[in-house]
Structure formats: structure tokens, C-alpha cells
Structure 1
Amino acid sequence: MENNLNQLVKLSQRYGQNPEYIIAGGGNSSFKNDEKMWVKASGTSMGNIEEDGFVCLDREKMQIISGKKYSENVSAREQEVKEDLHNAILFPEGKRPSVEASMHEIIRYAFIMHTHPTLVNGVLCANNSKEVINDLFGDEVVYVPYTDPGYILFKEVDLALQKYRTEKGKEPQIIFLENHGVFVGAETTDEINQIYTEIENKLNQKIKQYPQSTQEQKEIIPADIKKSIESCDELQRMATVFDSSDLTKTFIANEQSFEKVNVPFTPDNIVYCKSKYLFVIEHSNLSDQVAAFKINNGYNPKVIVFKGVGIVAVEESLKSAQIVMDVFKDMMKVSYLSESFGGPRPMTARQIDFIDNWEVENYRRQMSKAN
């Protein structure tokens, strides 16, 4: 058992330390035997996770969720599911299992690794995603159209798995979730690594253009922009990170080019960057623009785009601001890659609204800051 947990820790760190697969508290992993399942705690970063970063669950109690009938009311249902997840915790106290723990339970492999790879989402967030996945992987994988995270997504995946087992007589090892990411399952961590390599190799064959350099060309905010930020009451006590890489300049030349990244692609984009971004053409009145943004959206911008110059990520700490920047740059890469597969397909207003108001993701956001 100890060896399996060590392998789970190493597997999680491998992908958690690679920003092309996971950023901040995104993604999750698990190991299970017949009685218990160890799954990543919500909001925990996999990059430096150890055994105490996992929650151990009673599998018999987890299986109750599959067959139980919950409330039709979204808020009530999610609260009921959260309570059942809590009741399944064996140890430790004080941590929540990943909201996707139920999906880990129903995938019939010992090890599960769920990630949000940039390359994969370049396809899954594109207009032709389903056709491309079918062309490359055929009936060896399960493809699930976008579904709100939580219990509803769990039920969609459960139905898709049952259908696949009935038709194919086996368990799929790869589950693609539209505008979200991918689950990979196997009996060994080596096989999981092998499958991820195969996915990457197949997708690379279809990429027509790769993102330009993401290396920052400047680490210091231009003096005039810095002065505007410091004169803004809402921003002057916040930490900031600036980026003017080639990738960034691809999308900020004008409002038309920014349209390709002006709407989130995945839940993680919303968790860390929120769903609205401020595009600034003239920054001499930045304070007024930030105030208007807050009135319209109910929060200060985390991403401020200065036309033709660069992007500033704003958060309470330098670490959190860097996460915002990393997530938004990943969003730009996804948009860029999607051009090889029919162009970008962002989330809809309804899908975004669900994430904006979902307590589970607000909790994950706060845990990520704490960690």
C-alpha cells in the first residue's frame, strides 16, 4: 500500500510540475484498492503534493452517490452531494476531496490522472474537437460534450462509461471532456505516462501552428502604466505581474484580436482569472475604467490588457498574480492551437455563470491561494 501511495505522489508531482499539463490547483489524481480510494484534496497543488495532500475515502460510501436520487434544485443538489462526499471521508479531517472524486470512483483502474493539458485543450476548446478526436483515436476513447462540473458531469461520464462497456466489452483508459481536460486510467503509473505520451504524439501530428515564444520580453511594467496603476485606489495595494511576450502581443494588438481570448475556455480560466477582462486603449483614466468595470461586473479586474503593450495580472499577492498570468497565457496558447482545429470555441454565458456562482470552485480558488 505504501508503495502505491508513493507512486501516486510521484505521478502527481510529475504532471503537477509541468505547466503544460497543470497550473496551480488544477487537475487531480487518485489510487484505489477494493475498499479505499486516495484522491487529491480540493485546491491542493500537485506540483509539491505529498501523502498528506490526499483524502482517503470509503469506496462503499462513495458508491452511494451513483445510485442516489438528489434534489432537482442545483444548489440543494450540490450541497447534498458535498455532504455525501464528506461522509465518505476516512481521513484526514479538515480537507475536502476533489469535486471530481466521484468520477475517479467509477473509472475501473487503480491509478487515475486527470489533467488540463494545453495541447489537449487546444483541441477540446476548438470548433471541430469531436471530429478531430474521433479521427485520431476512434472508438478507443470516450468523448463527453461540455457539461457543468460536479454531479451533472459525473452522471454524464457514468452514462458514457456504461455505454462504452456495453458496446466494447472493456473499460476505456482515456476520457476526453470538452472544454475541460482529460482523464487517463491504468493499473500502473508507467502505463499512464505511456498513454499521455501517445496522446501528445497523436495531437502533435495535427498541429498546423504552434504558439510563439511565451518568454517575457520585459519583467518590469512600463513606467507610465505603472504610474496609472499606482494612482488607482482599487489597484495600488495589489500585487502585479506584467507580460509582453510574442504570444501576448499576438492577441492584444487591437480589440478584434483580443476577441479570441476575451471569453473563458475552461472552468479553470474562470476560477483563477474570472470571466471578464479589462481592455485598455488609453490608460490616463485607468482609475475611472477600473471603477466602471467593478460596477458592471461586481469585482475588480484580475487581467488588464493594455492595447499593443502587454498584460498586467492583478491579485492580492505576487504568487497569486503569477498564477493569474500563467493561466491567462495558457488560455492564449489554447486559442492559438485551436486554429488548427476549426478555431476557438469558448464557454457559453450560461456555462460561465454556473462556474462564477459555484461554491465548490470558490472554495478551490481560496484553497489555492492558501497553498
Structure 2
Amino acid sequence: MTSLFDSCTAARFQNDPLAMRVYTSQLLGQSKELVLHGGGNTSVKIDNILYVKGSGWNLDTIEKPGFSPVNLDVLLEMATRESLSDTQMVAEQRAAMQDQSFPNPSIEAILHAIIPFDFVDHTHADAVVTLTNTPEGKMLVQKLYGENMLIIDYVMPGFELAKHIYAITRNIDWNTLSGMILMHHGVFTFDNDAARAYEKMIDIVTVAETYLSEHVTLACGDCEGKGDPAIAIAVGMEAAKLRGCDLYPLLIDSPRAQLFSILPNLEVLVKKGGLTPEHVIRIKPFPAIIDNDIAEGIAKFAQDYKAYFDANASSVHICLDLAPRYAVIKGVGIVVLGKDEKESRIIADIVKHTITAILCAEQLGGWGSLSLSQMFEMEYWELEQAKLKK
């Protein structure tokens, strides 16, 4: 991975740490191999205030107003608690903000607070997460990065993750660490210098990319062909019945998508988790699979999704719509099913990165990210459910 850091540009922000935070955050956001559509988060600590990426901002376009100023002491105290609901966490983080006009802080604010460095960067780097989503992923990243890389087994993002890391790092000298890899989730780097924190991220991802280039062959291209748009339209019309609104279907018929669509273990593979946890909110836990009969494939998805909900839900959960966000058409490729062009483009980006990671992982022993119950926990996150109830 190529570093985009320019020392001449950065010199303009030398005496303004928040401006420097904006600059390196935008550098991270410019690479879709690091973050996609609101993914990842960054922060800087200034005078006992944590300025952390706020809800609704993307790293590639973030500016100073996108960094929520939260009292650092309050966040550190929150990390010591035994329990804290997501709703309570968001409310208390908001109450601890220096200025209420800013957006809600990231759900990872507490984790950013307990990392004892001024600049903290968090991405969902494709290459690194691809490696962690293989059967021997933990052993592999330990071998690649050595004993100075802190490797964390998967924990639900938010308070539970922050609490877990706080507990296991109480006696760790953070200065000895080169970074932190969260299994099936992403990467954290940190330093008191913004440039070094950024370059550490680039270095970590480069190691993973190099390993993949040496052990994986992806001869099939990612360029889309000129398939029959009627297929996408037909799938969209059928899925729209379940979504309750018109859809904007897009056909992805690149050689890579076509290869993915004919994998012999496709039905099992697509239920082994996504590239990173937050994607489930955009694309649901698995796609529809269509083999000739479109109506049958969409109906089967609705049946499987309802079974997934019933197996994991409690009485407090409200079931989301039963429509897929994308469908794999065997021998053809993939149709994405957003409610408008913007949503379809977002889904398409996530799906393309996901199938590339899966095809790579399958050459490294197999794909396996999160279980269906773990995906449910993220998809039916308390705060997302609260929006529905309102």
C-alpha cells in the first residue's frame, strides 16, 4: 500500500493538531481498501478532550466539525464499569461533550480514550481482515506481525470491546506495541505523532497485501461486463415486493462476480460472515441465491432470513424487512438491490470488496468470519432498534 502522506502539505498543520487529524483521516479515507462508506474512525487527544469521529461523517471528507469533543476523564471512567447499555453509553458520551452542537461520538470513543496516545487510527483494512477471516487467521497474523502486535479475539464493537481491551491491557506497556489487530474486524494504530500513526497503518496493511500477493491468485478481473439488464430488473421487481418500495437494481457481472456465483460451496459460504461486522447493517447477513427461478430464490431468502431472526431474537426485537440487499445469480453474477442509486452504489462497493476477500480466503484454507448469532447481534444493535421503535 502506498503512503499518501505529504510532508509539505502536513507542514501547514504543524501547530494545529485537530487540522492534522483531519488531514491524515482524509488520507485513510481515500483508500477503499481501508474503509468503506462511513467505516473506520480516528481521534486526537488535546487538553484532556478526545476529538473523535462523529456519527454521520466519512473519513474521506471529514472536517473539523466532524470530530466530537468529549471529556477524556468521563470516557476513561466508563471503561472501568461492569456493564453499560448502548443507549446509556451514547447518552453519557453526549452529555460529556464540550459542545452539544457536534454529532454523537463514535461508538468506539471509549476504546480510543483508553489507548494512551494522542493520535489513534482505526480502519477495516481488507487485506488484514481477509487474513483474520481464515481458519488459521490468528496464527497467521501472529507469525506475520510478531509479538509486538496486540491481537484481540472478536468482541462486539462498542462498550464490550472497550471494556475487554481495558481489562487485558492493564499491565501492558503500550509503547512496546506496533499496533492492534481485532480478529474479523480491523486494525488500530497509534502514536503521539499523526504521521507515524498513519505510516504504521500503511506498513501493517502492506505486510498483509504482500502475503496475499504471494499466496493468492485472482486471475479473474473486477471489470463489469455488458450483461442483460433485464435480469437485474426482474430480480429488483421481485425483491421490491418484500421491501415495500421501488428498488434500483444494479448488475455486477464481472469475471470475479461470475466466478463467485458458481462456487460449489456457495450456499454455505455466504452464511459465514461478512468482511467486517458493520457491513451487515448495509447488506444483511447473507444474500439471496437464485438458480433459474427468480421468485423462488427471493422467497427462499425471505424464509431463511425469518428463520435467522427467529433463532436469534428475543421479545424486544423488531424484525427488519425480509428483502435481500443483494442476490447471487448462479452463472451470471450479482444483482444489488438498494432503494435508490446511492444505496445501490454503496452496497455494490461492499459486495465487491467482500467477494474479493472471500475468493482470496478460500485459497488460504477457507472463509470464516462471524457466526449468524454474532451477525444478528450487530444487525439488531440496540441503537438501530431504538430508531425503529420511534
TM-score by length of 1: 0.87
Cα gap change, 1:87 to 1:244, in 2 (>3 Å): same
Question: How far apart are 1:313 and its partner, in Å?
Answer: 0.8
Structure-2 change in CA distance of 1:20 and 1:232 (3 Å)? closer
Counterpart of 2:286, as a letter, is K
- Distance change in 2, residues 1:260/1:215 (3 Å): same
Secondary structure, counterpart of 2:262 in structure 1? coil
1:269 match? 279
Maintained 8 Å contact 2:288/2:327: yes
Q: Which amino acid aligns with 1:90?
A: Q
Aligned to 2:204: 199
Distance 1:96 1:271, change over 3 A: same
Q: Secondary structure at the match of 1:67?
A: coil
Match of 1:74 in 2: none
Contact 1:173–1:186 under 8 Å retained in 2: no
Q: What SS does the corresponding residue of 1:200 show, helix, strand or coil?
A: helix
Percent identity, aligned pairs only? 22
User: RCO higher in 1 or 2 (8 Å CA, sep ≥ 6)?
Assistant: 1
Partner in structure 1 of residue 142 of structure 2: 134
Is it true that 1:172 corresponds to 2:181 in the alignment? no
Secondary structure of 1:25's aligned partner: coil
- Aligned pair partner of 2:246 in 210, 223, 237: 237
The code of the aligned residue for 2:372 comes to A
Which blocks of at least 5 consecutive residues in structure 1 are unaligned?
A: 72-76, 366-371
Q: CA deviation at 1:133?
A: 1.6
Q: Is the partner of 2:272 in helix, strand or coil?
A: coil
Change in Cα spacing, 1:247 to 1:233, as seen in structure 2 (3 Å) is closer
Distance 2:97 2:141 in 1: 36
Which of 84, 91, 102 aligns to 2:110? It is 102
Q: Deviations over 1:302-331 (max 9, x none)?
A: 011111101111112211111111111111
Which segment drifts farther, 257-266 or 38-47?
257-266
How many residue pairs end up in the alignment? Answer: 355
Q: Does 1:307 align with 2:338?
A: no
| CA–CA separation in structure 1 for the residues paired with 2:56 and 2:180 | 22
Instruction: For structure 2, list consecutive stretches of 5 or more residues without a partner in the other structure.
Output: 1-12, 306-320
Q: CA deviation at 1:35?
A: 1.2
Q: Give the Cα separation in 2 of the matches to 1:210 and 1:156.
A: 37
Contact 1:38/1:54, CA 8 A, preserved across alignment: yes
CA contact (8 A) 2:54 2:68 kept: yes
**1:258-297 matches, cutoff 5 A:** 259-265=268-274, 266-283=276-293, 286-287=294-295, 289-297=297-305
In structure 2, the partner of 1:369 is none
* Shift in alpha-carbon separation, 1:258–1:350, aligned structure 2, 3 A: closer
- Aligned partners of 2:239 and 2:204: how far apart in 1? 46
- Residue 14 of structure 1, aligned match among 27, 32, 37: 27
- Please tell me whether the aligned partners of residues 16 and 22 of structure 1 are also in contact (alpha carbons under 8 angstroms): yes
CA distance 1:126–1:363, change in 2 (3 Å): farther
* Distance of 1:66 and 1:42 partners within structure 2: 20
Query: Considering only aligned residues, what root-mean-square deviation do their CA atoms show, in Å?
Result: 2.6
- Confirm or deny: 8 A CA contact 2:29 2:60 kept in the other structure: yes
Query: What is the 5 A alignment of 1:346-361?
Result: 346-360=369-383
**TM-score (ref. length: structure 2):** 0.83
CA distance in 2, matches of 1:361, 1:159: 27
Note closer, same or farther for the CA distance 1:324–1:162 as it changes in structure 2 (3 Å cut): same
Task: Give how far 1:173 is off.
Answer: 3.9
SS at structure 2 position matched to 1:46: coil
| Separation in 2, partners of 1:79, 1:280 | 39
The residue number in structure 1 matching 2:170 is 162
> Would you say the 8 A contact 2:80–2:163 is kept in 1?
no
Q: Deviations over 1:60-115 (max 9, x none)?
A: 221220223436xxxxx222222221221122436211100111001111111100
Instruction: Rate the CA distance shift 1:149–1:233 in 2: closer, same or farther, 3 A.
Output: closer
